[in-house]
Chains A and B, each alone.
Chain A
Amino acid sequence: MDWYLKVCEMTESSYRIQGATGEWEVVIGLEVHAQVTSNAKLFSGASTKFGAEPNANVSLVDAAMPGMLPVPNRECIRQAVRTGMAIDAQINKWSRFDRKNYFYADLPQGYQISQLYHPLVGEGTISIEPEDGETKIVGIERIHVEQDAGKLMHDQHPTRSYVDLNRSGVALMEIVSRPDMRSPAEAGAYLRKLRAILRYVGSCDGNMEEGSMRADVNVSVRKPGDPFGTRTETKNVNSVRFVMAAIEHEANRQVDVLESGGTIVQETRLFDPDKGVTRSMRSKEDAHDYRYFPDPDLLPLELDDAFLAECRASLPELPDAKRARYEGPLGLSTYAAGVLTADVETARWFEALMAATGKDDAATAKAASNWLISDLFGALNRLGKDITNSPVSPAQGAQLLGLVADSTLSGSLAKQVFEIMLETGDDPAKIVEERGLKQTTDTGAIDAVIADVLAANADKVAEYRGGKDKLFGFFVGQTMKAMAGKGNPGVVNERLKAALDG
């Protein structure tokens, strides 16, 4: 682990809270609950589809009817193992489920089946790239799988609460980081990177709005160089922005408490996104004793080599590797490689675009990357769409790039054609054909237009020939205007120069 410690030291964040007594360092660890992508729940065959009518996706097992028994869903285990492999973590071939016992109306069994003592996935690492910061390695302590609880609805009846068990029993991965982050920016970068990895692997859709991903945020503060302070845990924060805001507030609150002579209580807190503050959720007096013990309804989970090999073989190219390939063999800039690989959908689109061009040289990659990042993203932004529902397909994009590459279209013509593609959904070749937007390279036609332009501006020709070189741009503009923008700029330049200087 020497290299790892070294990396952490080298990239220590300089984020500090300025207190009355000096600078404070913030220490952050995140426990992310990620809903496993699977059709069925962790221990029952009920559907996991989001947005169903309340209690539509509830099996006898999920409702904890008498005599019902859990049976592990192989796909959920597979996805958690693949996730572990994606962060280079140790996969435990022997793991076990434990019961976490507590009473609540959203927990029909009276216990949550989880993994305390022997998690499925052990230590791993995630490399993050915080904005305005250096690359940093965040340690992952473990990933275990567990059941989600149901949902209480307090707004359905004046005096009663209703229970929706659709989420009851849905598989979650709890991904526990080491307390390796030192600033809200690092925590944000960690969450974005984790989300990207989960989406590349396909083990979680990363949709924080639908609750597919939420974080418990552990925060403590200390004077730089001191041992860790007492931490608080802010539960169930459901967006990157809120996680960063919760850390900022909580760290400042802790500094205020400590500097006014108080002590930090190890406690569970809630984040109020409207006020941007955290507040204490429950006090120590009613702290739960969860009475964890191995679930006697389930045998230990034992994974064989064939299963692990299949999990590994099914892993796609992951963001870090993809980014390295884009920067290396493909020759893209660090910035472009970062943008294109940040999200699996963008990377997939870019690779479909490249495939449709039929080329893999650096020039094509650069043209494709530039067009995707500036033209396509710009248009999608304007239209309020994202890459997954782009009105233009990768094949159409490749066709457009091809028309530029073979000089059928100039850059400005290509932009015109693209606008029409966005409106009509038509192929660029069809648009060029129907609207006559093809660029002209016919020297005879260009020479004729140039002759007209020079004849109509004899005074300016004289000035130019008299040494006013800057007028060359004027002649280019006039010529292009006369050709309705369809003249090949290179040819126009060349012929114009010949006509004026000759």
Chain B
Amino acid sequence: MTTDLTNLTVAGIRDGFRKGDFSAREVADAFNAAVAAGKPLNAFLVETPEHAIAAAEEADRGRASGELRPLSGVPMGIKDLFCTAGYQTTAASHILEGFVPTYESTITAKLFGAGVGMLGKLNLDQFAMGSSNETSAFGNVISPWRRSDGGNAPLAPGGSSGGSSSAVAARMAPAATGTDTGGSIRQPAAFTGISGIKPTYGRCSRWGVVAFASSLDQAGPMARDVRDCAILLETMSGFDPKDSTSLDLPVPQWEAGLSGDLRGKKVGIPKEYRVDGMPAEIEALWQQGIAWAKDAGAEIVEVSLPHTQYALPTYYIIAPAEASSNLARYDGVRYGQRDLPDGANLQDMYAATRAAGFGGEVKRRILIGTYVLSAGFYDAYYTKAQKVRALIARDFERAFEQCDVLLTPTAPSAAFALGEKSADPLAMYLNDVFTVPASLAGLPAMSVPAGLDKQGLPLGLQIIGKPLDEQGVLNAGLAIEERAGFTARADKWW
């Protein structure tokens, strides 16, 4: 057989398996072995080799009988925010430790229905709150990447989908599901040299995904390249009557529509994204991206998104407000952890359970959210934030009168070392400065790997599209990908 099946992309596995180059079982075995060998990265909270094998064996039987499904033979990692029937789902929080859902999230049901096997449940920032994976209750994920300075400092894989980014970058999974509330797919993808797309809000059902901030949460795929993102997003998207915010629209054939030819397209460069103190390397990468877009035939236009500076504060009011309410259900009464001190009454039980069950960052956001919604502060914070959110969405609407997609850096820096920013929440929040605006406006956006910084760490470029124009986003991403020729990968140290 081929040398190493774990080097294959989703498309490569799908097509090679169909051609008979290898069996699905061989693919599952190779990735299961990689998962087992990758423990030092702490990317998986639960390993499910039996699930991947069962799906692979079914794929192999299906190939023999001519009953192939769209993703037969493809294994994936699943972020542990997706409820999986029969498999522990924790959102990386002690408060859900031991919780085994009886139900399958719509997204995992669609993927499994398309033939995907699950390699395991992937670590994340607790309740998807974080940008480094350090808020996980089960230890942080470590990025497979290391700086070229020889210092071997363990680096953050990004967050909150850090288990997903680390697993894909380390070839433990050809792809993984992620979720993105303010950048949780795009920033970790950029940190680890992979691709990831957050579709238009409402494309992917939120049913069965542990909620962080309902008006922002969107699932999406994380994979090695743009084509794989297109393939997986096609399967993950679609109307779900169980989610009132789900879009009742047909799912386009994004893979078939892929084209890196940007002739006739206008790529907008938002001037407000040129923030103070942005590293020269990021600026240089951005200029490189502009050159690639031109090379692909696009016209470059400068656009303005005047309310960009208010996006982070707005996000850090709305997201915690929704989270403070969404997380009220973790009370120790019906499932998950319960802390019942001797002689405790109901209030004591709530307090003890939530004090012991939630991590520091989760508590911080619950407190912020409770504060901004409380009587006397609601209008000053929440109502105002909603108004600013509308202005930010209007900024994008106006910009898209002048261009088809926007091109920006994904994050203001390359991956930082673990522990480097964990003591300063504000510095950590600044990581989302480029990703949060598109989340507030519900727009499709993706990150593609575009180069390395001088320490040899990956950097990503972000493409933001019009509502429902995932195709435009994917195509611009493909144009960058084709020209960036990003082939770097982390040296295996684990």
Contacts and interface: CB of A to CB of B under 8 A. Distances in A.
Contacts of B382: 293
Given A71-B241, A105-B346, A296-B215, A291 B370 contact: yes
Nearest to A44: B242
Nearest to B89: A66
A66 B325 contact: no
Contacts of B467: none
Interface string B85-101: 00001010000100101
Contact of A65 (B101, B243, B374): B101
Interface string B186-217: 00000000000000000000111111011100
Contacts of A60: 102-103
Interface stretch (B16-24, B253-261, B327-335, B429-437): B327-335
Given A65-B335, A293-B382, A296-B214, A109 B241 contact: no
Nearest to A286: B347
B328 A110 contact: yes
Given A99-B325, A105-B346, A291 B333 contact: no
A67 B214 CA distance: 10
Contact of B96 (A66, A103, A296): A66
B207 A68 contact: yes
B245 A293 contact: no
B244 A71 contact: yes
A101 B350 contact: no
B242 A66 contact: no
Given A71-B241, A291-B373, A109 B328 contact: yes
A103 B328 contact: yes
B243 A67 contact: no
A110 B207 CA distance: 19
A108 B333 CA distance: 8
Interface centre among B89, B241, B322 (most CB of A within 10 A): B322
Contacts of B333: 105, 108, 163
Contacts of A161: 346
A63 B325 contact: no
A388 B271 CA distance: 75
A297 B245 contact: yes
A352 interface: no
A296 B334 contact: no
A69 B325 contact: no
Interface in A141-189: 161, 163
Contact of A66 (B99, B241, B243, B347): B99
A69 B378 CA distance: 25
Contact of B103 (A65, A71, A109, A111): A65
A110 B331 contact: yes
B393 interface: no
A72 interface: yes
Contacts, number: 98
Nearest to B91: A66
B83 interface: yes
Contacts of A297: 211, 214, 244-245
Given A67-B211, A109-B329, A291 B89 contact: no
Interface in B306-347: 321-322, 324-325, 327-329, 331, 333-335, 346-347
B161 interface: no
Interface string A268-297: 000000000000000000000101110011
Nearest to B332: A105
B214 A103 contact: no
Nearest to B350: A103
A109 B102 CA distance: 18
A244 B241 CA distance: 46
Interface string A58-85: 0010011111111110000000000000
Contacts of A64: 329, 334
B329 A66 contact: yes
Nearest to B327: A110
A69 B207 contact: yes
B105 interface: yes
B242 A289 contact: no
A298 interface: yes
Nearest to A66: B210
Mostly helix, strand, loop or mixed at chain B's interface?
loop
Contacts of B331: 103, 105, 110
A471 interface: no
**For chain A, what secondary structure do more than half of its interface residues adopt (helix, strand, loop), or is it mixed?**
loop
A257 interface: no
Nearest to B216: A296
Interface string A94-135: 000001010111001111000000000000000000000000
Contacts of B82: 67
Contacts of A109: 328-329
B207 A289 contact: no
Interface string B231-247: 00000000001111100
Nearest to B214: A296
Nearest to A288: B375
A383 interface: no
A291 to B, nearest CB: 4
A299 interface: yes
A289 B334 contact: no
Contacts of A296: 213-215, 322
A201 to B, nearest CB: 26
A54 to B, nearest CB: 14
Contact of A108 (B244, B245, B329, B346): B329
B178 to A, nearest CB: 16
A293 B378 contact: yes
A108 B91 CA distance: 19
Contact of A71 (B105, B210, B242, B374): B242
Contact of A291 (B206, B209, B242, B325): B325
A69 B244 contact: yes
A101 B325 contact: yes
Contact of B374 (A66, A104, A110, A291): A291
A60 B83 CA distance: 12
A110 B325 contact: yes
A109 B210 CA distance: 13
A153 to B, nearest CB: 14
Contact of B328 (A66, A71, A101, A289): A101
B493 to A, nearest CB: 35
B373 A66 contact: no
Contacts of B214: 296-297
Contacts of B91: 66
A111 B325 contact: yes
Contacts of A68: 207-208
Contact of A72 (B89, B105, B244, B347): B244
B180 to A, nearest CB: 16
A165 to B, nearest CB: 9
Contacts of A66: 83, 89, 91, 96, 99, 101, 210-211, 329, 335
B236 to A, nearest CB: 15
Interface in B84-127: 89, 91, 96, 99, 101-103, 105
Given A71-B243, A110-B327, 13 more contacts: A60-B103, A65-B101, A65-B335, A66-B91, A69-B242, A70-B244, A108-B334, A109-B328, A110-B329, A111-B325, A163-B333, A291-B325, A299-B245
Across the A-B interface, give the 3 residue pairs with the lowest CB-CB distance, nearest first: A110-B328, A296-B214, A291-B373
20 contacts: A65-B103, A65-B335, A67-B101, A67-B206, A67-B208, A67-B210, A68-B207, A69-B207, A99-B325, A104-B346, A105-B333, A110-B327, A161-B346, A291-B374, A291-B375, A292-B378, A293-B321, A293-B382, A296-B213, A296-B322
